[in-house]
Structure 1
Amino acid sequence: MPPTRKGRPADSPGAVRLTRGEAKARTRARLLAAAAEVFAEQGFSGASVDEIARRAGYTIGALYAHFPGKDDLFLTLFEEHVSHHLENAGRIAGGADVFSTFGAYLTEVADEHVAWSMLELEFLRYALPRPELLARLADHWRVPRDAITELVEGGLFGASGDPQAVATVIIALFEGLVVQRRIDRAAVPATLFSDALRWLARGLVNEKAIP
């Protein structure tokens, strides 16, 4: 029986039949939601596509109709995760007191997104000996780097160097601070994130004065 927007049988009173595109989008969204749950509970290595399909309420064939495998499920979730952060970063960049607001947001990421970061590290370890998969992961990482590059080109840090190189350093700096805060919160107070941004900006502005 065809699906409906409200999950009722197509011939029930008031039912609105889903279009093929709507049904496909709903199936995809449910599979991704199930994948996120299973990855969070069992890790990337421990998760199985069979369990993901079962959790979503679909057959394994339905899963493969949307995603070639577990790698693609993770990379799609990674893409959505990055997109969410970039939307927030874009709003922050257009507001007042950018450094303090960015610092507060990065502190939140450090404190509230631990499970996802562990999953990222597990996937990286899995991808390292697999060149083709590592190249795909690198493509996904270019998205946030390109976004930060645009902010640098827009004058956020007043840098005169290569904007992409500056963006790479910014990401590396804050990835490191996030890890250190998770290990020893007292050593990396929330204010250090915004302070580090200011120090970096001042250093970039004054780089020509350094022989």
Structure 2
Amino acid sequence: MSSDLVKLRKYVSVIEETHHDGGPVLDWPVMKAAVGGVIANPYAGRYVADIQPMMKALEPLAVDLTERVMKLLDAKGSELEAYGKGAIVGIAGELEHAALWHQPSGFGIRHAMGGAKSIVPSTVKVASAGTRIDIPLHHVTASYVRSHFDAVEFCVPDGPKPDEIVFIVAASIGGRPHARVGGLTPAEIKVGDGQR
């Protein structure tokens, strides 16, 4: 995956399979995965007023990362229950470079999944190589399903270099292993706009 604005160095993946979290063994394990793409930051080390052209260029990367997450989970898009996104900008960049990920990642994730309604939660930071980041997860249909409020911890040991950005997509099949704090359940979702 490469274009004038999106030059990929590597992919990094993480997957978790949880069979219990201190309670009874689950009938089906909770599966969580995240994939990050480490790319060169074309705006590193200088202030560029118009950075929006990169947003469209990032859409294929968002689709690619989502498809890689689905492959790790051995899942179709319709089987994903929660998702999230994030970015780590190397220290020669700025926080606004991470914000470039918001629109294309939402588009790419929904495109690869075949559609979803809920907001895709996000976290971003400017940091040095090896920094860990927690990618938040929310239910894909309704953002207020408490059982699916979770996170996936992610790290690239050698990235981002100062002139790089790591863009990340995460997803899960299942919510927290022993969710029992009430609230809206997936079976009770009635409004498909992701806001209930």
Q: Give the TM-score normalised by structure 2.
A: 0.34
Q: Which has the higher strand share?
A: 2
Q: Which has the higher helix share?
A: 1
Q: Give the TM-score normalised by structure 1.
A: 0.32
- Structure with greater Cα Rg: 1
